[in-house]
Amino acid sequence: MRYAYIFLFCMLVLTIFVQPVFAQEKTLKEQRAERLHSLEDRFFAAQKEGKTIKGVLVEGNSFFNGTTDPQKKPYGKPYTDAELRTALRSAERNSKVFLLAQDGTLYYPTVKKGEADSESLGAYRFERVLTEAQKKTKTFTWATLVPMVGREIEVLGEVYPGYGGVKGLYIEAVGFEGEYIVGKN
Amino acid sequence: MASKKPVITLKSIFYTAVSLVWIFGLSAIGHIVMVLIEKYNPAIKYDFAWGCVIVGILTLYATRFMKSDSWQSFFGCLAGLSVWFAFEYSLMYGGHDLGVTYTWNGSYPEYRMIKWTYMLLLMVFLYLLFQESVRCNFIFYLRRKLRLMRGAIATGKIDNYGPRTFFEYIMVTWTFYVLLMIGYDEALFGAYSWFIYILFFASFSVFFYLTYKLLGYDRFGANLRYAIPTVTILWNDIEILAKWGMLKEPWVHINWPIMSVIIGGFVVSTWLIVKDLRSRKQDMIEIKDIH
């Protein structure tokens, strides 16, 4: 019986920490669903008005040192296969990732204006807006930048003036075709 | 291992099946708890991790008072899972703080960080390999083949299996995470490399071998302890299939119908284990009964 009490005590301690998750699960689930729904509405409304930003994600180091020229390649295919492999590898080693729009504007993904204390966006999970067809595939509802390097994405967010021609881009949500991790929904 | 050729009985099949379901359910539930927290309330995850480490240590301490090796193993396993939870969260925190990115083939920052503990893992493994009182079958096999034994094999009663099971759970999980992450590293091997294919087929084969060996145990203490590597090796295949996009893990994609079956299996197996251990206690003759 003593062991049962010890076990119950342990479960009690665990429950104290886990309890908020289960107690609020429905509310949090609803909150998240509402947030995603609102993002979807805003994303598709902005898309209709032409206010989303479309571009391909490029890896910063090889772009800025002029080793690769994604801006000179046909839009949507910024790298050769060999270049893409190295660009992806560099990006996962935390080389910065930029958004290169079709009109040649370069955007630096950043945090919301006013946030001075921030984190690397290389690990940040951006909310992903899904089309009705994508929803049926039960694909990821979020995406990070690194696996998307070399691909076209559409962004709902805020554009900041930036510096030296490179604009700042706060990404609120992203939309893109296909799978998040190619070959693995 | 009592004998080289396990004596398979209906009883041992029952104990093996229940142990495998329990350990598998434990791992699956552990995963889904992490996914739910990340999805609905990530703000609490580090508090949760501290809760887990406290519960893990308390549970481990509690095994010191348990007389039956089965209860010690049962709670040792739970303690191992709790502390492992905290370890993963600590890596998550470290990854976040250091700005570790996801890999392009989808590996999470915390698992990228686990890979770099391989040298630490090697150091612990070397200690276990040369420490002659360690009785792990695999280590013992290596020690025999590498001619590392200098004296007689350690024998005698083990007074508390709790810490051993706790350590076993952590070591086995840790080892296979490191192995998988080294395999997934595209700079070394890659998700579709020969290394991962070998790991996949070796894990599949070894799972059946270990299950066959497991059938030789007809009580929950040993069965639970040996079910840990058996299930974890099978888990390699699950992880690899998910990596190849051939399996959508129900605990990652929150597939409630499948998770309900797993949780149901876990509840029923827990009930069967607890019921069995309680009935064993009633039958047990204690020293006070003799005097």
Per-residue pLDDT tens for B152-197? 777 777 788 999 999 999 999 999 999 999 999 888 999 999 999 9
- Within 8 A of B184 by CB-CB distance, chain A residues are none
B95 contacts A17? CB cut-off 8 A: no
For A86, which residue in chain B has the nearest alpha carbon?
A: B187
CA distance A171 to A158: 7
Alpha helices in chain A (DSSP H): 2-23, 25-48, 60-64, 81-92, 132-136
Residues of chain B short of pLDDT 50, as ranges, are 1-3, 289
A138 contacts B55? CB cut-off 8 A: no
B221 versus A18: the higher-pLDDT residue is B221
- Within 8 A of B78 by CB-CB distance, chain A residues are 10
Give the CB-side neighbour count of residue B76, counting CA atoms within 13 A: 29
pLDDT at A162 over 80: yes
Q: Could you tell me if B134 and B167 are in contact, meaning their C-beta atoms sit under 8 angstroms apart?
A: no
CA distance A87 to chain B (A): 10
CA distance A10 to chain B (A): 6
- Within 8 A of B39 by CB-CB distance, chain A residues are 32
pLDDT band at A185 (very low <50, low <70, confident <90, very high): very low
pLDDT band at A2 (very low <50, low <70, confident <90, very high): low
**Considering only CB atoms, which residues of chain B are within 8 Å of chain A?**
33, 36-37, 39-41, 44, 47-48, 50-52, 54-55, 58-59, 62, 65-66, 71, 75, 78, 82, 95-96, 99-106, 109, 186-187, 242-245, 248, 253
Which tokens go with B287? 């020293």
Average pLDDT over residues A21-33: 68
Q: What is the pLDDT of residue B169?
A: 95
Q: What is the pLDDT of residue B73?
A: 93
- The single residue listed with the structure tokens 């549970």 is B59
Q: What is the pLDDT of residue B2?
A: 46
In Å, the largest CA–CA distance within chain A is 75
A28 contacts B55? CB cut-off 8 A: no
pLDDT band at A29 (very low <50, low <70, confident <90, very high): confident
Cα dist. A85→A97, B87, B124, B188 in Å?
Answer: 14, 32, 35, 14
Average pLDDT of the residues of chain A:
87
Q: What is the pLDDT of residue B284?
A: 54
B284 versus A155: the higher-pLDDT residue is A155
Q: What is the pLDDT of residue A139?
A: 79
Cβ neighbors of A50 (< 8 A, separation 6 or more) are none
For B100, which residue in chain A has the nearest alpha carbon?
A: A123
- The single residue listed with the structure tokens 């772009």 is A63
For A11, which residue in chain B has the nearest alpha carbon?
A: B55
- Within 8 A of A32 by CB-CB distance, chain B residues are 39-40
CA distance B6 to chain A (A): 32
Nearest to A32 among B40, B82, B245 (CB): B40
Q: Which residues does residue A128 pair with via DSSP β-bridges, in sequence order?
A: A174
pLDDT at A16 over 80: no
